Structure 1
Amino acid sequence: MTTSSMLKPTDRSKVKRRPQKGHYDRELIHQILDEALVIHVGFIANNQPFVIPMGYGRDGDCLYIHGTSASRMLKSLEQGIDVCVTATLLDGLVIARSLFHYSMNYRSVVLFGRATLLEDEAEKTQALKVLSEHMVPGSWEQARRPTAQEVKATKVLVFPIEEGSAKVSTGDPKDDASDYELPIWAGQIPLKITPGVPIPDSKLADGIAIPENLLKYHRGG
């Protein structure tokens, strides 16, 4: 069965504020998720709302999240409760002539659904590879891989990319017509993640070179 290139908007996923900035294209949603490093997972447990930042990885239309088997969040999610997952890339600050019109340029994703616990050891190991490669491409071949005991001690959940939307804001400030004559600078301050030079572990043995994938590390986009 061929997966649709678009997510179908629902009452809770349809962008209502500035709908012209809303997008439902899977490719765009995947691009944003692939470039971001952190998602925020929103859920309710014991009548208390929580929003937890998490690392993750994407494989097709699935997101993988993981943590210790004792994690309260993962214990809650594996019960099949409703979850909201968000990711945001901040691309710049928008400086207007009026403080009222200061804003930001960004790309974001909001997803809704329910997570499922992975119990098969082979599936968990593959998910851990996806998670590792999302953070640092090439790490699966570079570092020691998880042992069977480590895989067993790790809880992995899969979250479907089936309901949600992206929202993208770009361009110049939108000032009031009367403010364009003011002698005030306006424009954009671009922002991006810029990796620094890798810093060796204080206990690193002599003679170990920095791997090429770390020297050339970058986020796509």
Structure 2
Amino acid sequence: MSLYLQITINLVLCAGLIIVVKEGIKTKLSVIVLLLGEFMLELTDLAGRMMKLNALNTYNYTLSQFFGLIVLTVIYGNYYIQLSREVKWMIYCYAIVTLITNVLYVQDATKVTFYSNIITSIIICSYAASYFMKIIKEGRTDRNMFVVNIIVFLFFSIECLISTTYNFLISNHLNWVAPIWLFRGILLLSLYISFINLGCGVGKIRIR
């Protein structure tokens, strides 16, 4: 990812977090937690990159997987779809086990972290797909929620594809890696902006 894009992402998250918090916390706590957590992770990642601490970035990627799955499960359960308590706890347990496994095998990150990322991405994509099915059944949706859902689906589909083909790209098409990673970064920025927008309007959304 471009350094300038990464700096832009951090600035957007910081500004967005301030805007969302200023509008009130009570009904949008999960969105604020997501933005705050991602800001801390992105800031740490940027610092690690600038100081060339590759090990720190590997741990950061592992934490990002865990945090993203947990918080997005909460957000989708609150605003988008009905998730049973059993399903939530299964996902939370999976996230914890994955975090522990990735930390223990951090030196073998390519084999462990990327494969676990495929499952995490599929789970999150299934949330987005479930919401699309809900829209089809009910015939109505909130615009901000719909935009977030589209970007979530796109981003994690690309994330899954990257994780699946990572070794192939590195071995056979190294020149493709930078453009793909840049595209991922732009999608990630769009994802954060959409969640900031959702946070600003979440008070009008009926919490499930």
- Fold match (TM-score > 0.5): no
Q: Rg: which structure is higher?
A: 1
The normalised TM-score by structure 1 is: 0.27
Structure holding more strand per residue: 1
TM-score, length-scaled by structure 2 = 0.28
